[in-house]
Structure 1
Amino acid sequence: MGALAVGATVEKEPNAQLNSWFVRSGWSKGELARQVNRRARLMGAHHVSTDTSRVRRWLDGEQPREPIPRILSELFSERFGCVVAVEDLGLRSAHQPPAGGDVDLPWAGPQTVQLINEFSRSDLMLGRRGFLGASLALSAGPALLEPMQRWLVPSSPSGPPAPLISAAREAGGRPSRLSEQELQLLEATAVMFREWDNQCGGGLRRKAVVGQLHEVTDLLQEQHPEGVTRRLYRLTADLAALAGWMSYDVGLQPTAQKYLVLALHAAREAGDRPLGAFILSSMSRQMIHLDRPDDALELLHLAQYGSRDSASATTQAMLHALEARAYANMGQVNKCHRAVRMAEDTFADSRPAEDPAWISFFNEAELHAENAHSYRDLAYVAGRSPTYATLAHPEMALAVEGFREDQVHQRAYALNLVGMGSVHLLMREPEAAADFTEQAITIAKRVRSERVNTRIRTTTHTAVRDFGDVPAVVHLADRLSEELPEVAESA
């Protein structure tokens, strides 16, 4: 082949992989550009400003700079309900961590404290000036599961479940500079943050939780007696788990996973197996969301094994209910039914007054909600089966009624209203579906939760696709476009 003539240019090859995902998504170039800009603002990358011509150049083969590849990966992952890696889109990431690099961390107290302290500081600072998520990647499969199994392995055959930071051991029996009243106030603050999250969604107070977490890890780098250190580790785990859950709620998936992994490390240092099981359950919810039910099930079984002799009946019931969700998404009908029954039977033994604060959300209404979503998911897996939809309906109705007068769990109320809307769509009742989804919009305007907004949009788009000529559905679509904020503010 002869040399190129002077001044000749090399034509870029169209990005066939990105084009394939883009066509299947059903998005227009303008809609994808708007979603990229919205996600960039949500994650703090305020310098990103994308338009249709830029999207066209990506499709034609131009390689975008970070954070665009990561944003596109997350958007397509959420659109298709599975992990769509940067490489699957035919793009290059500026940062390629090794397999498990973001979750396979040292299981030791000092390193755990340092990692949480540094990560929370980066979140606080880069959230204002840059893009934290660009340095993170979601882990799944063995890269996630194998490191998590080590939370049950003691540091030495004769030692305690987890080592405390060496400074705590050096402190011996000396009193801490933290008084009992101060410790109780710190612990009460975590409870208050959880109530705010349930009532207002993850977008309103996420940075406040991250800031409090950073302060507590500062305290953990000082010398304290062993009992105080354990309480500080437990508080660190609780706050890191909440930061992870809030990040998940606003759509920051890699950030959420990193916080949850770090929270599990801190729970191990505290020797709190039930709290560790709860953190693993949050990780399993994320895996179900990302269409990784097999990974979710492995995490849940790890949680159940690790807390089998220590978790309360309420916590065990919650784990069984999530197990049912995982089985439903795997299409395993009999195992799903069995897990639902186990959740109901175990919940009958609950003693809410004896439960830790972090499981207080799992009340009778939440049990009905989980069971309803399990049956609803079975209906989708079975090809929109009306049989499973009719099983979901009475459970979802009990959940909606249970949350109707609950002024704390407003996000759960909104999620179950839109859940009821999706059940009515499966039952081919578009008017009822539109009514419940409109009720969810009313709550969503008060709740800063991208998760709620996304579910409302998904249910509305499904209604328009299947029943676009029904007046109630037309009204729902009009109201969605007018009232539900399309641009989420930075968390």
Structure 2
Amino acid sequence: MSATAEKQPNEQLGSWFVRSGWSKGELARQVNRRARQMGAHHISTDTSRVRRWLDGEQPREPIPRILSELFSERFGCVVPVEDLGLRPAHQPPAGAGVDLPWAGPQTVQLINEFSRSDLMLGRRGFLGTSLALSAGPALVEPMQRWLVPTASAAIPAQPGPERDLPARPSRLSEQELALLEETAAMFRVWDNQCGGGLRRKAVVGQLHEVTDLLQDSHPERVARRLYRITADLAALAGWMSYDVGMQPIAQKYLVLALHAAKEAGDRPLGAFVLSSMSRQMIHLDRPDDALELIHLAQYGSRDSAGATLQAMLHGLEARAYAGMGQVNKCHRAVRMAEDAFAESRPAEDPPWISFFTEAELHAENAHSYRDLAYVAGRSRNYASLARPEMEAAVDGFAGDEIHQRAYALNLVGLGTVHLLMREPEQAAEATARAITAAKRLRSERVNTRIRTTTHAALRDFADVPEVAALAERLSQQLPEAAASA
């Protein structure tokens, strides 16, 4: 009887598949590409295998998780394994989700184990098999405990009677701590310059080493500083994972980063981590979740956030309101971002917020207006508001040798605005410039947006010579296999 049940067509998977517009061969190629990207080199899917899945065959892990991620990215929303009519091979182990204990020793242990798994399993397996994206109350409610006061766990407890003795002097010198902080800042520069795919494992390795240091006994001042470095590195590992399309892994690192920031007592850094989680939710078309995370960040850092951080949070608030179609609140948040940024003092800002320049402010505003245009049915009025902001962002990043990914992303954004304005020639020109920039990066996020914009241009303006030339250039200079290597 079970054999008969297995032969029933998987109507849920079939529905998502038809809506995706992919052929069976294209889906097979997408699965193989993602598997190679995640280290599951034993996966080799073909058209006949996809047909069997649609006919009701239950694939083994990591295929269900890969399909979940692919359809989530395709449709811009979380598509759980269960919604595809598939069964995960096993239940996620304890600690695999985002509802984790808010205590220093457990945070250190979880980051240490997760980073070690990422370093080791990524070479021969698939780290994401036990992970799934959390969203809605399952994500937001655990993060709210960031604000709940807890007893300081910055100094690990000693076993037995030694717990009553003073902590031993740290074996880390001031120079060594400063070098660790400088290393984290350097990794951020590389990420902005080259994309997340080039140095991600180096960041994960450094994160693992810092958590090793945190398992020693340190004075509270040193321990808090190490927790701050840990939070910074974990947040960067999460951001780089997001940039290369590893969504569940990215979310897990960001959650762990927020825990470490809490142990460090660094509310602004915690707010920054929440902002990265919010960006991921915007990417996955969950603006309501993004808004809750941003409001949590704003409330938690209300007495400690500098003007630059406040401006960034208001800019993201505008993005969330735009995605929800709340026009007046979006405009208000844009104005508040501009007002806060006018008071910023970059020389006093921590390194992790240094990316938020005037060009980045223009970029946030542009994407808010662009998103309003999409929500309003491709409104040219909102697109006309986005256009000067996006042009200012592109101009601001054009001569910036560090923020090359931002330059590429905003060129793509400018292309989408031109499409909304029904200016296909200008859209093709901006997107072609983005291809040139993308060739110097290792960012699947940039590559995916270029492909999406090019396909949209082809759909609406296939007869325009510049658009046809853009598609040809994309296939030659940024082929999918090479982009995901």
Amino acid of the structure 1 residue aligned with 2:303: D
Q: Separation in 2 of the partners of 1:333 and 1:440?
A: 29
Match of 1:275 among 264, 269, 274: 269
Q: Separation in 1 of the partners of 2:129 and 2:347?
A: 43
Amino acid of the structure 1 residue aligned with 2:37: L
1:182-261 pair list within 5 angstroms:
182-261=176-255
What is the aligned partner in structure 2 of residue 166 from structure 1?
157
Q: Are residue 313 (structure 1) and residue 307 (structure 2) matched?
A: yes
- How far did residue 172 of structure 1 move? 3.9
What is the aligned partner in structure 1 of residue 379 from structure 2?
385
What is the aligned partner in structure 1 of residue 139 from structure 2?
144
Q: Separation in 1 of the partners of 2:251 and 2:4?
A: 44
- Contact 2:405 2:446 (C-alpha < 8 Å) held by counterparts: yes
Q: 1:465 to 1:335 in 2, by over 3 A?
A: same
Flag structure 2 segments of 5+ consecutive residues without an equivalent: none
Q: Separation in 2 of the partners of 1:361 and 1:488?
A: 28
- How far did residue 169 of structure 1 move? 8.1
Q: 1:480 to 1:153 in 2, by over 3 A?
A: same
Q: Separation in 2 of the partners of 1:418 and 1:231?
A: 39
Q: 1:262 to 1:488 in 2, by over 3 A?
A: farther
Amino acid of the structure 2 residue aligned with 1:58: W
Q: 1:273 to 1:398 in 2, by over 3 A?
A: same
Q: 1:169 to 1:230 in 2, by over 3 A?
A: farther
Q: Separation in 1 of the partners of 2:289 and 2:354?
A: 26
1:398-477 pair list within 5 angstroms:
398-477=392-471
- How far did residue 100 of structure 1 move? 9.2
- Contact 1:36 1:50 (C-alpha < 8 Å) held by counterparts: yes
What is the aligned partner in structure 1 of residue 98 from structure 2?
103
Higher relative contact order, chain-length normalized (CA < 8 Å, sep 6+): 1
Q: 1:182 to 1:485 in 2, by over 3 A?
A: farther
Q: Are residue 53 (structure 1) and residue 51 (structure 2) matched?
A: no
What is the aligned partner in structure 2 of residue 125 from structure 1?
120
- How far did residue 482 of structure 1 move? 1.1
Runs of 4+ in 1 over 2 A off after TM superposition: 8-11, 95-101, 162-175, 487-491
User: Deviations 1:342-362 (Å, cap 9, x if unpaired)?
Assistant: 000000000000000000000
User: Deviations 1:112-136 (Å, cap 9, x if unpaired)?
Assistant: 0000000000000000010001110
Q: Are residue 478 (structure 1) and residue 472 (structure 2) matched?
A: yes
Flag structure 1 segments of 5+ consecutive residues without an equivalent: none
Q: Which moved more, 1:324-333 or 1:173-182?
A: 173-182
Amino acid of the structure 2 residue aligned with 1:413: Y
- How far did residue 98 of structure 1 move? 8.8
SS at 1:166 equivalent = coil
Q: Are residue 324 (structure 1) and residue 315 (structure 2) matched?
A: no
Amino acid of the structure 2 residue aligned with 1:119: F
Match of 1:374 among 368, 371, 393: 368
Q: 1:392 to 1:170 in 2, by over 3 A?
A: farther
- Contact 2:447 2:483 (C-alpha < 8 Å) held by counterparts: no
Q: 1:373 to 1:341 in 2, by over 3 A?
A: same
Equivalent residue pairs, number: 482
- How far did residue 101 of structure 1 move? 5.4
Amino acid of the structure 2 residue aligned with 1:207: K
Q: Separation in 2 of the partners of 1:210 and 1:408?
A: 21
Match of 1:116 among 108, 111, 127: 111
- How far did residue 95 of structure 1 move? 3.0
Q: Separation in 2 of the partners of 1:345 and 1:327?
A: 18
Matched-pair identity in %? 83
Q: Separation in 2 of the partners of 1:130 and 1:481?
A: 30
- Contact 2:245 2:445 (C-alpha < 8 Å) held by counterparts: yes
Amino acid of the structure 2 residue aligned with 1:292: R
- How far did residue 10 of structure 1 move? 7.3
- Contact 1:171 1:223 (C-alpha < 8 Å) held by counterparts: no
SS at 2:480 equivalent = coil
- How far did residue 380 of structure 1 move? 0.4
Q: Separation in 2 of the partners of 1:415 and 1:146?
A: 32
- How far did residue 487 of structure 1 move? 2.4
- RMSD of aligned alpha carbons: 1.9
Q: Separation in 2 of the partners of 1:27 and 1:175?
A: 60
Normalising by the residue count of structure 1, what TM-score does the alignment of the two structures yield?
0.95
User: Deviations 1:216-256 (Å, cap 9, x if unpaired)?
Assistant: 00000011111111110000000000000000000000000
- Contact 1:169 1:226 (C-alpha < 8 Å) held by counterparts: no
- Contact 2:96 2:130 (C-alpha < 8 Å) held by counterparts: no
SS at 1:358 equivalent = helix
- How far did residue 175 of structure 1 move? 2.8
Amino acid of the structure 2 residue aligned with 1:21: W
- Contact 2:424 2:464 (C-alpha < 8 Å) held by counterparts: yes
Amino acid of the structure 2 residue aligned with 1:177: R
Q: 1:100 to 1:473 in 2, by over 3 A?
A: farther
What is the aligned partner in structure 2 of residue 37 from structure 1?
32
Q: 1:11 to 1:352 in 2, by over 3 A?
A: closer
- Contact 2:99 2:142 (C-alpha < 8 Å) held by counterparts: yes
- How far did residue 174 of structure 1 move? 4.3
Q: 1:410 to 1:11 in 2, by over 3 A?
A: closer
SS at 1:215 equivalent = helix
Amino acid of the structure 2 residue aligned with 1:333: V
Q: Separation in 1 of the partners of 2:479 and 2:428?
A: 18
Normalising by the residue count of structure 2, what TM-score does the alignment of the two structures yield?
0.96
Amino acid of the structure 2 residue aligned with 1:486: E
Q: 1:477 to 1:226 in 2, by over 3 A?
A: same
Q: Are residue 25 (structure 1) and residue 16 (structure 2) matched?
A: no
Q: Separation in 2 of the partners of 1:52 and 1:107?
A: 46
What is the aligned partner in structure 2 of residue 13 from structure 1?
8
Q: Separation in 1 of the partners of 2:96 and 2:391?
A: 43
- How far did residue 488 of structure 1 move? 5.9
